[in-house]
Structures are given as structure tokens and as C-alpha cells.
Amino acid sequence: MLRWIRQQLGFDPPHQSDTRTVYVANRFPQHDHYIPQKFADNRIISSKYTVWNFIPKNLFEQFRRIANFYFLIIFLVQLMIDTPTSPVTSGLPLFFVITVTAIKQGFEDWLRHKADNEVNGAPVYVVRSGGLVQTRSKNIRVGDIVRVAKDETFPADLVLLSSDRREGTCHVTTASLDGETNLKTHSAVPETAISQSVSSLEAIIAVIECHQPEADLYRFVGRITVNHCGEEIVRPLGPENLLLRGARLKNTKEIFGVAVYTGMETKMALNYKSKSQKRSAVEKSMNTFLMIYLVILLFEAVLSTILKYAWQAEEKWDEPWYNQKTEQERNSSKILKFISDFLAFLVLYNFIIPISLYVTVEMQKFLGSFFIGWDLDLYHEESDEKAQVNTSDLNEELGQVEYVFTDKTGTLTENEMQFRECSINGVKYQEINGKLVPEGMAEDLPDGVDSNLSEEDILFLKAASLCHTVQISYDQADDLGDRQANGILRQMEYYASSPDEKALVEATKRIGVTFNGNNGETMSITSFGKLEIYKLLHILEFDANRRRMSVILQTPSGEKILFTKGAESSILPYTKTGEIDKTRMHVDELALKGLRTLVIACRHFTPEEYIEIDRRLHEARTALQQREERLADVFSYIEKDFELLGAVGVEDKLQEKVQETIEALRMAGIKVWVLTGDKHETAVSVSLSCGHFHRTMNILELVQQKSDSECAVQLRRLDKRIKEDHVIQHGLVVDGASLSLALRQHEKLFMDVCRNCTAVLCCRMAPLQKAKVVRLLKTSPEKPITLAIGDGANDVSMIQEAHVGIGIMGKEGRQAVRNSDYAIARFKFLSKLLLVHGHFYYIRIATLVQYFFYKNVCFITPQFLYQFFCLFSQQTLYDSVYLTLYNICFTSLPILVYSLFEQLVHPHVLQNKPALYRDISKNALLSCKPFLYWTLLGFCHAFIFFFGSYLLMGEDTSLMGNGQMFGNWTFGTLVFTIMVITVTLKLALETHFWTWMNHFVTWGSIAFYFIFSLFYGGIIWPFLHTQDMYFVFVQLLSSGSAWFAIILIVITCLFPDVIKNVFYRHLQPTNTQKTQLNGNGIGISCLDSMCCFSDGEKACAPVGRMLDRMIGRCSPTRVGRSWSTSDPYYSNDRSILTLSQVEATPC
């Protein structure tokens, strides 16, 4: 019961030690002093709430927001003291916002619960009581032996005990975990692999010791102790023995495994944890504005309180004859009365803080994010992938990017490798018609002529076809014995996690050395028609620090040999024999051609050397503590004294339209940095070919620095050169080693050099170095907005570090996509994502935020001014229903629809004129100047509302036909009516892109206000305690003078705005406004005008042209977008943002 309560409250009991002991089949020791460890059950919980904690937890999270907490305080103040407005005026909007948010979050969590129940209730088979027992997935316990059949997913993290194959191997695919679709081979230890029946499995006496759960999908450290024939045998366990929950069994009939991690302790569940919350620049500005308006509110409340007591200093105003004080009021504390009055004014003016701003922004972001997924221009037909939004909180940040950090392989390139050239024993070869031809020889070789490969050449090809982790899929064949029929090899297909490995194996097959398969114990190749079987002794896995992988094999002749391949910097320094200088020269030549290079070497072991190596590897692999460090030491001991065999160059072709995309980003004022692990020459060559570096650009280099002092001298030299040659553009190349030195003590100097360069290329970069570079720029004094884009697991740290992370749906798995904020299929889509979607999202939400504060200043300032005319008695100007519904009903929908559909210019114009992106950079629309404009505009309009109405009614003027005069509620309603119309029409003036929905909500909101007011004031409602508004609105509308006042004051408010826009457009137009005036584009008529005019000049034409220049808008219901078939954009654009064909209609 206590454990259940702890789980419901979200407490996870800490583990007692760094390791866990799992008894296979739950055969616990029988001695009394054994205390079993407690493990989590196998339930997956992706939900955030339970039935018991939903209300308190959700309320706690919502009231952490400053606006919600502020309104809660105001509501409590209204309940505790006598305030001029009803608690309903604050309580109802707060309740509405909290309820809407809670329903949204509750519905999302209910869907998670539904999915969890489906997973937890899935049927599984476990070995219990001497047989297979069917149970539910959630009932699996640590130590249970679980049976999984072909094409089923693993219900927990299992250590493989046996399979239907003799050698105890199986194939799995981890597509649901990391997106890799290639088959991975997992194996059981020999002592358990022989147990293939239920009875023999239950008889196993074995203990597994392993680390406590961790999130790393590719790390598992453990050992298994098997009691075999009375002898305890210890075997190491690694990632190749662990079957992860969520992975799927392939090409294997069935397997048995023991559960070691269950439920929320599985690696899949540990990877659920959310990324660190990113906040956009707009959200930060919004919170700053909120604090400023809070200061304005406090100032108005304090000023009103002080003026009230200053006014009441005169006895006739302190206690007038018609409002005598009670004895209790006379004797009450002055300080308490002052505080009470201050709180009452705070309540009266509290609507200057817009409570519905947050919920409107949230709805805008959520609904607006669908446009990215619906945009067919961001859909890739070949891979059937559309753009994906993982978080909608950063939509507007796409319009503020100043730096783009991009990976090269798979992001700028296709990650489809093709073998091009190789260097063997100092001789360069090309592949021509499936044969290796020395460079310079005739390409037309006659059929039947042997290429005369030497033993060194064949050894090189064998090394390339054996040193890898490639898997094979055969047609209708499951094991190595079935793969040949009548001596003919069946159709095979290679699968590899690394595209360059697959390219090498396919190339050696074409040349004559065919890799036939790997069954875990042996590797089979056919070398020019001769079958050879090598015994696989050890695999030294690839890691980012060593940058190489190796295999130790026993040849058919019994010799022990190591083959290794990797980057030239990780192999050439460790070679002793071979054509080292020639190969190094050839590697540089291949890199200059833009090819990816790999160096291949070997090492022969004597029997004594191998025995020592085998012993050291076994000790390191069975260690539970510091296994990685011990293995690294052993690998260093083994991987040395190489005999160099040669090098290969594989081509990774550029993706489509990479050059155009980089150029568009550069024109938009965005600096592009390429961060890659490739060698210097390869990276520079690709940068030149993709347009990142120009041929006319001055390329500066910070490479191969050996010391801090040397690095500092070079940085100063580069800085001086940039300042001297400030006219031309500069590009900087820096390698990983030099970067480490530069960041150690010369951070500021390095950043000065980088900021003055148009393009920066960082090569030989480790994943954490990529993240460090992003963090360095992100935290620089200018604090620019950064974007990182990549496709592989090595890009995840960079993607998470940047303000905006974008994953490419490539061939290196889905880890980058899963950890990104947005995902696209190709690099070329980045230009539309930023230049169009980012531009639109930013202007929409920036206007939304400014408009919300503007309309609330308009709303509450007349209330403040009214106090000067009612002796600061805290009398409210508006009826409480109007106070409540102003932000919820009367003015909410027009701005929401505006923030979803607004377009200042056409999407094509934004893509064709990237420089327009500069108009909104550096948070231009939410800077101090626009904020002051909207705030002062709100105050000005509020003064006009109030004093315009006061001039009309202030001198006891009779405005009714029967001589009756208006009262204070009629005055307040007049001000409120003018305000609703003005703020709605102000937004209409700001709207450039009219849809039927804009028309509906704009004119519909005004109509709804009038209809509601007529019903509210025209009927006596029995549930209302008082009804001050009865017949007030009807009386107001029956006065012609009131109608005249409404029209006159609305025009007075808005006409200066129109004049300002006209003058600014003619005297100081922005690039966007110039485009609106001039950039109509081919095939687009009247893009920026309010209505269309026929070719003949008509009477309305001059007025139309003036409106066209003045407002710069378009309406799809009235504007004829006469698309022509010759339009260069129409045929290719499939975006949902573009309009369908509409015939031109003259005025």
C-alpha cells in the first residue's frame, strides 16, 4: 500500500547500490540473511496525472504563471474586503482560463492513459511452474524468463538466454527507438544458448549482475554467472546481449530472455523524460511587458489612494450629508483603511493585466503549428515524410534566427555513399566495370582480362569486406546453412547502420570479394570464387574517441589477424609498416575531391600475443566497475603497430538545392556555420561546392595548433588580417584540436574573429564540441538566436543546446528527430521554414501581444479617469458583466483569427526576397519603440473615448427626444461601446490579409456586442441581484446624438493612425512596405490593394490607389489573384498558405 501511495505521489525510491543482482527464473538463495532487492513493476506510465492528483497538480502548475497567480490574489482580495466590483469579474475570467487549460491538458493526459493501458495489457508469455503461462505485460517481474515470437516487440529489457538458432543469435530492428531500420544481431552466452526448451530454461541456475538503469540505449555493463555442470562460469554482458523494450524481433522464430529492467526503468522509458524547456524571445518580452504594466497598475492604485485622501482632507468631502459615516468607520485604523482603499483601487484597475493573453497565445501556437505539417512544400515524396512539429512553443523563434549551425553528412549531403577510388599499397585505383584499375590506365578494358591483383590488393579487399557490422537479409532464408542452393548464392541485401560501410561491402562484392554473412561465431566471404570462413574472435566496437573499429579473426590457415578501419588521423599515427607517405598524400588528394576517406590497416598476432590480448579483453569486459575505461586501455594496447593496407574514398553527393538555401539564408542576414567530424580537406571541398564558402572568399585557417601560445598568436594574426581586409568577405576553418585550445583561454578573441567572418567551418568536431560552440555563441554578449540542424545521434547535443533544434529525417536513425523541436526531410526546406513560416509566426504573435496590452489600456484607463469625477469613491464605470466579457467574448476572436492567418506579403515574395527577413530580426516588432507606440496609442484612445463622451454628456445635456438626461451607467456604456468598436476596427486597419473568417469574426464581434447588450439590458433577469443596465442600452441607441458621438469619436481615434501610416509609407517605408507597394510579382494582380480596378480608369481609381498605398492589404473574397500558367511559382507551390484561383473582379 505504501509503495502504491509513493508511486501515485511520484516518488521513486532510490536504489541502494550502483549495481543490481537478478536471479534468473527468480531462483533466490535459500539462506536466511538474503534480502531481495525491490524493482519497479512492468507498467509503463507516460501520463502526467492520476485521478487523485490531477486537480491539485494541475492547479499548482497553472498558478505558477504570474498572470494566473496575480488574478487569484485579486479574486481573494475581492472576497475578503469590500471592493467596487463583484468577485465574479475576476473569478469568472480566471475560472474560464484555468478550466480551458485544464480540459486541454486533461484530454491530452487521458489519451496517454489510454495508450498506456493498451501497452500494459498486451498478452505475453512467461516461463513459470514448468510451463509457458500467458499473462499481461504489466505483470512481468525482474527475473522472469519471457518468450517473444517473430515480429513481436520486446515487453521489457531482456538479456538474451537462447533462440531457436543453434548458436543463440537473433536479429532485431530498433526503428521505434532510434529509427534505424537495419537488422542488428544479438547473441546469448554459449552456456545458456543450448537451453532451447522450457524445462531446460527453468533448470538454469544463473545470476546476472549489471548496472542500475540508465537512459543510454547503447550502453549496458553486466556479467552472468552460470552454474554449468557444478562449475561457475562468468561471462561478460554488453549491449549485444540486451534486447531493448520497444525493439522488434526479426528473422528469428522465437527467443527466450530474462527481464533485467522493467516498466519505467527500461531504457525506452528513461528516454521519455522531457527536454529542458526552451523559452522564446517573444515570451521573455511578454513577461517584461507584464511587469511594466504591473508597475503602471500599482502606480495608478497608489496615486488614486493618495488623491482620495487628499480630496477628503476637506470635511465636506470627507463626510458629506448624504453619506454619513458609521461609528465603526470613524474609529477604524487609518492604516488599515488606507490599505483597504489601495487594494480596492488595485481590484478596480486590475484588468490592465490581460488574463486571457496566455490562453490566447497558447491556442495561437497550438493551432498555428498545424500549418507547418500541412504545408505540401515541406513534404518529401520520395521518403513520404512531411514536416513535423515536436513543440509549438518556439514557432515565432523561427523568425528570429541569426545563426544556423549545421552538420554536413546527411544534412547538407544525401548520406548515400558510393565507392569512387582507393589507394592500395601506395597505388591509386578506380573502379571501372566492376574491376580495380590503376589510375592513368585505359578505362576500356577488354572482357576476360584479369586485373592482376596482387596479394596485398586482395588482403585489402578482404579487410574491407570483413571489418564492419553489416547484416544481410536473404530471400526465404534464416541461417547460414540455407544460404546456398546447388552452389549458387541466393539473392542478398546488405543492411548497415553506417552508409559508408555498406558502400565498401557492395564495392568489394562487385570487384570479386563477397561478404556472405556473420552468424556470431564465423564470418564467411567468397574471394574470387573461393569460399573462405573466418572465425570471429573479437569485435572492437567503434567509438567517437578512437574514431575506428576493429575485428580480430582467425584465418582459415589458423593465423590470428586484426583488421581495422577509421579516420586517417586515428590510424596513420599508429602504423609501422606500409606505404605511409604515399597513402597520406593520396588521402589528401581524395579529400580535395570532396570524398570521405577511410584508412584500412591490419596487425598479425603471434599465439602468445593473442593469449595475452584475449585475457585482457575478458578481464575488461567482465568488470562491473569502470568497464569503459578498462576497455579503452585494452583497445589502445591492441590497436598499435599496424601494417598499413591502404585507403578508400567514398562520395556523398549534395542534397538538392543546398547552395540556393545557404545563399538565401545569407541574404536574410543569417550566418551559417558548418560543424562536421570530417577531415579538413573534405570539409573545405564540400563547403565550396555547396556555396557555404565562395571562390572569391578569403579563407582563413586555425588548424593544427599545438599549444595555447601558438593558438593565441594565430588568432591575433587572423584578427589583424580581418581588420585590414574589412572590404572582402572572410571564411574561417577551424579543427577540433585547435578549437579546444581556443576555447580554453582565448574565448573572447576567438569569438571576435568568428563574428567578423561571413562563414565558419569547424572540422574534426566531437559531438560535445558542437554543443560547446553553440553554447559559446548563444551566451555571447549579443545573445543571438541560434538554430542547430542535424540528422544523427552525434548532433543531438547541438540540437538540444540551440534555441531552436531541427532534425533531418535521414539515414542515421531518428535520434535527432526525436530530440528536436521541428523535423524536416531535407535541408532545402529550411529556407521556407524560416523565411515564410518564421516570418508569419513572428509578426502574428508580436502583433497579438502588443494588441492585447493596447486594448486593455483602452479598457481600464477610462475607469482611472472616471475616479477624478466621482471623488475617488471607487465607483465602477462599466457594468460587471461588461468587465467580465470584454476579454473573453467581445474582443478575443478577431485577434485570434488575425494571429492565425495574417500575411504582410505573399509567401512567394518572402522566399524570393530573403532580405525581408531582416525587417523582423532582433525582435524588432517587440522592441521598446513599438511597445511605447502601442501603449501611448492605448492611452490616447482611452482619453478620446472618455473626454469625447464627457464633452457630449458632461454639462447635463439632454440627448433624448423627451428631454430626459442620461445617467452614469449610460455614460459608461457609451464609452464601452465606442471602445469595443474602436479596438476592433484598429485591428481591422492592421490586417493585411483578409479571409472570410476575418470578416466573420471582425464584424460578428461588433454585432454580437450589440445583440448581447440589447438582450442583457432589455430583459429583467430573475437571477440577478441588481440590474443597473435595464433598458440603458436601448435608450442609448434611441438617441441620434449618441450615434453621432460614436461615429465621430471612432473616426477621431482612427484617422490619425491612417494619416501616420500614409506618411510613414511614403517617407520612411520598410523593405516589407516597399515590397507591398512594388512587388506584386508576375501573375499576381492587386496583391497589396484593397480592391481591384479594371484596365479602364474609373472614378474610384484615385481613391483605390490611395488606399492601396496607404494600407497595403488584400482580401481573397474581393481581390482577384489572377494566377497565370506562366507564373513561375504557381506550378511548384503546393502550400496550403496560398490561395486557390480566383477570377479578377473589377470595382
CB 613 within 8 A of CB 605: yes
Q: What is the 3-state secondary structure (H, E, C) of 621-666?
A: HHCCCCHHHHHHHHHHHHCCCEEEEEEEEEEEEECCCHHHHHHHHH
CA 223/CA 237 separation, integer angstroms: 5
407 is catalytic: yes
312 by Cβ neighbours in 10 Å (0-12 / 13-18 / 19+) ranks as middle
What is the CB neighbour count within 10 angstroms for residue 544? 11
Buried-state track 1027-1037, b at ≥16 Cβ within 10 A, e below 16: bebbebbebbb
Report the b/e string of 440-451 with b at 16+ CB within 10 A.
eeeeeeeeeeeb
DSSP symbols for 398-430: GGS--EEEE-STTTTEEEEEEEEEEEETTEEEE
**One-letter identity of residue 592:** L
Nearest to 211 by CA among 624, 495, 566: 624
Residue in 945, 924, 946 with CA at minimum distance from that of residue 850: 924
Q: How far apart are the first and last CA of the chain?
A: 77
As to burial, measured by CB atoms within 10 angstroms (0-12 exposed, 13-18 middle, 19+ buried), residue 129 is exposed
Quick one: 954 exposed, middle or buried, by C-beta within 10 A (0-12, 13-18, 19+)?
exposed
Q: Of 704, 715, 642, 662, nearest to 679 (Cα)?
A: 704
872-902 burial, b at 16+ Cβ within 10 Å, e below that, comes to bebebbbbbbbbbbbbeebbbbbbbbbbbbb
Phi and psi at 365, nearest 5°, equal: -65, -45
Chain position carrying cell 566531437: 766
Dist CA 765 CA 675 (whole Å): 7
Answer positive or negative: Cα dihedral of 880, 877, 875, 940: positive
- Give the DSSP H or E segment for 372: helix 370-374
Residue in 393, 407, 1108, 1133 annotated catalytic = 407
**Paired strand residues for 172:** 184, 249
Q: How many CB atoms lie within 10 A of CB 313?
A: 8
CA atoms within 13 A on the CB side of 57: 14
Query: Dihedral of CA 120/122/123/124: which sign?
Result: negative
Residue from 986, 1007, 1111 nearest 1050 by CA: 986
d(CA 211, CA 1113): 64
Burial environment of residue 426 by CB neighbours within 10 A (0 to 12, 13 to 18, 19 or more): middle
Compute how many other C-beta atoms are within 10 angstroms of the C-beta atom of residue 923.
19
CA–CA distance, 403 with 801 (Å, rounded to integer): 13
Helix H or strand E encompassing 939: helix 928-953
Tell me how far the alpha carbon of residue 189 is from its chain's centroid: 41
Torsion (CA) 322, 328, 333, 338 in degrees, nearest 10: -40
Catalytic residue annotation: 407
